[in-house]
Chain A
Amino acid sequence: MKSPIFYVLLLITLGLLGWGTYQAIMVAPPESTMGDAQRIFYYHVPAATAASILFWGNFFASLWYLWKRSPVADALAVTGAEVGVVFFGVVLVSGPIWARYAWGTFWVWDARLTTSLILWLLYVSYLVLRKSSEVGSTSVLAAAMAMLAALDMPIVYMSNRWFPTNHPQPMIGTPNLNPEMQKVLLWNMLAFTMFALLIAWFRFELERTSQKINQLHLRKAAQGISMAMLAPLLLFFQDDKALREQVVQHHYMVAGYIAVWTIYIGYLLFLYSKLKKLNREAAAIGLR
């Protein structure tokens, strides 16, 4: 992490994240029926956007790897999958918190939710494969897996297309979306996409360092974070309508923020500890 551009971008991103969050909580008008609980959209949707960019990155980097066998492509592929899994994890956590308020249930097996879960599972299995394959064959096997995973997604969508979905339809650019809300949403999309790409950059540099000292296999993303997420979720487990009305919309928003930032911060801590470990190893073998 020697590049000053990284730190400049980091400052801008932190500013944008703060600005986006301020806008989401204070400026955007409350939704007519969902109230504050709807504000979860302002980080649910951007996280999904960022994750899909990262998964596409994984696909193209894997293709590049199969073609050229370049270690840079391999590092990009693993970055795309791992950071993508974290951001998509955020989508899968913040969505149910909102759904518990709006639909009264955390999860329904409808088209959109099922395909999302399968997408996430596919990339988790990609990471598991990377983690447990033998050193040397990891990159090739992982690239082959990434091809099949990317191939599976259109099929999963197809297989689900005749099921109805409860999930809200895309609204950006349509007259159904309040322009004030749209502006806030776009700010947040910009902020979280930059955030994702910066984390990806950080992760990429780590992978390159790791490749240099021949540490090719990976930690599974977000290990143990799921435990931390249980705490805020426990609040809403009773299916008691009176209680649900008592726990105001506002609490759902707060719970969403806690859960989501637990994931982000947990992942950053994980990356930080990995960096420390790599630095120690690099020093031990005299790399720098």
Chain B
Amino acid sequence: MSAATGKRVAAETPPKSMSITRLVWVNVAKDLRLEWRSRDVLNSMLFFSLLVVVIFSFAFSPTADQSRNMAGGLVWIAFLFSMVMALNQSWARELRNGVLDAYRVSPAPAEALFLGKCLGNFILVILLECLMAPLFVVFYNLSSVGPLWQLVVIALLGTWALVVNGTFFAAMSIRTRNRELMLPLLLLPISIPAVGSMVTATTQVLTGEGAPVVQMKFLAGFCVVFTTACFLLFETVLNAE
């Protein structure tokens, strides 16, 4: 290295270290911008859930009463499977051009990357749910007997529970040979309790039979426990060699 270059580097002010909040925001903004420009993930998620809606309608002829009892399970299965597509994509993107390796050697904390990814995926999935909800209502004659705000709380908690676990296991499964195949195999067994209580709670609200408060508390607990565990273990998984 020539003396001139050395002098120039020394003369520059050292880069200001970024706060965690800023790093998270940079990650979220980057993910959303990429998604906005390509719309790969959102389009495929939307189309996929639409297909699930259509295919399930062959399994039973939805009348208003029947569909109330089944919609809870159906809606969440559709979202769960389309979420798996989004999660796979979100990390696969970082593999190209060695972005993930660059991140590993950068001084930015791994947790910021993880939180950024989770928030990015969360926003995408919530968007998907907002777009799909009217379709479910139309195709399955849905009308809720219980209060609607409870459905919103269940959707937020449930989506966060699935997204946190999903983002974590997607980071794990890109380290395996059969990347896309591994994610559901790891994610589904772990999330069975969350999915179960989401489905039960949604059905309870839709049919108006029983209050879903216990299930909502359970989901909140699930979110807290798994968010903590995933944050603690993420750096280990990111740097696994």
A positions within 8 Å CB-CB of B: 66, 118, 121-122, 124-125, 128-129, 132-134, 136-137, 140-141, 143-145, 147-149, 151-152, 155-156, 158-159, 162
Whole-angstrom distance between the Cβ of A45 and the nearest chain B Cβ: 24
Nearest CB in chain A to that of B177: its residue:
A132
Judged by DSSP, the binding face of B is: helix
Most buried by A among B189, B196, B226: B189
Which B residues lie within 8 Å of A122 (CB)?
Answer: 189-190
Which A residues lie within 8 Å of B189 (CB)?
Answer: 118, 121-122, 124-125, 152
Question: A133-B176, A140-B237, A145-B172 are known contacts. Are A152 and B214 too (CB-CB below 8 A)?
Answer: no
Tell me if B233 is interfacial: C-beta within 8 Å of chain A: yes
- A129 pairs with B225, CB closer than 8 A: no
CA A282 to CA B227, docked complex, whole Å: 44
Which B residues lie within 8 Å of A158 (CB)?
Answer: 193, 218, 221
Between A and B, 25 residue pairs with Cβ closer than 8 Å are: A118-B192, A121-B192, A124-B189, A125-B189, A125-B190, A133-B175, A133-B176, A134-B177, A136-B240, A136-B241, A137-B240, A140-B236, A140-B240, A140-B241, A141-B175, A141-B176, A144-B237, A148-B233, A151-B225, A151-B229, A156-B192, A158-B193, A158-B218, A159-B197, A162-B214
Which B residues lie within 8 Å of A143 (CB)?
Answer: 236
Tell me if B182 is interfacial: C-beta within 8 Å of chain A: yes
Which B residues lie within 8 Å of A156 (CB)?
Answer: 192-193
Nearest CB in chain A to that of B186: its residue:
A125
- Which 6 A-B pairs have CB atoms at the shortest separation, nearest pair first? A140-B240, A137-B240, A159-B193, A121-B189, A133-B176, A144-B233
- A137 pairs with B241, CB closer than 8 A: yes
Nearest CB in chain B to that of A124: its residue:
B189
A-B Cβ contacts below 8 A, count: 83
Tell me if B106 is interfacial: C-beta within 8 Å of chain A: no
Within 183-197 of B, Cβ neighbours of A (below 8 Å) are at 185-186, 189-190, 192-193, 196-197
CA A23 to CA B236, docked complex, whole Å: 50
Which A residues lie within 8 Å of B176 (CB)?
Answer: 129, 132-134, 141
Tell me if B76 is interfacial: C-beta within 8 Å of chain A: no
CB 8 Å contact bits of B156-173 with A (1 = contact, 0 = none):
000000000000100010
Most buried by A among B177, B192, B230, B241: B192
Nearest CB in chain A to that of B187: its residue:
A125
Whole-angstrom distance between the Cβ of A147 and the nearest chain B Cβ: 6
CA A125 to CA B233, docked complex, whole Å: 18
CA A155 to CA B225, docked complex, whole Å: 9
Which B residues lie within 8 Å of A149 (CB)?
Answer: 190
Known: A145-B186, A148-B190, A152-B189. 16 other contacts (CB 8 A): A66-B236, A125-B185, A129-B185, A134-B177, A137-B240, A140-B236, A140-B240, A141-B175, A144-B172, A147-B229, A149-B190, A151-B225, A151-B226, A159-B193, A159-B196, A159-B218
Whole-angstrom distance between the Cβ of A129 and the nearest chain B Cβ: 6
CA A84 to CA B154, docked complex, whole Å: 35
Q: Find B240's partner among A125, A141, A151 (CB 8 Å cutoff).
A: A141
CA A129 to CA B178, docked complex, whole Å: 10
CA A132 to CA B233, docked complex, whole Å: 20
Q: Find B172's partner among A66, A121, A129, A151 (CB 8 Å cutoff).
A: A129
Nearest CB in chain A to that of B222: its residue:
A155
Whole-angstrom distance between the Cβ of A247 and the nearest chain B Cβ: 34
Q: Find A129's partner among B168, B186, B192, B193 (CB 8 Å cutoff).
A: B186
CA A158 to CA B186, docked complex, whole Å: 21
CA A144 to CA B226, docked complex, whole Å: 12
Nearest CB in chain B to that of A133: its residue:
B176
Which B residues lie within 8 Å of A148 (CB)?
Answer: 168, 190, 226, 229-230, 233
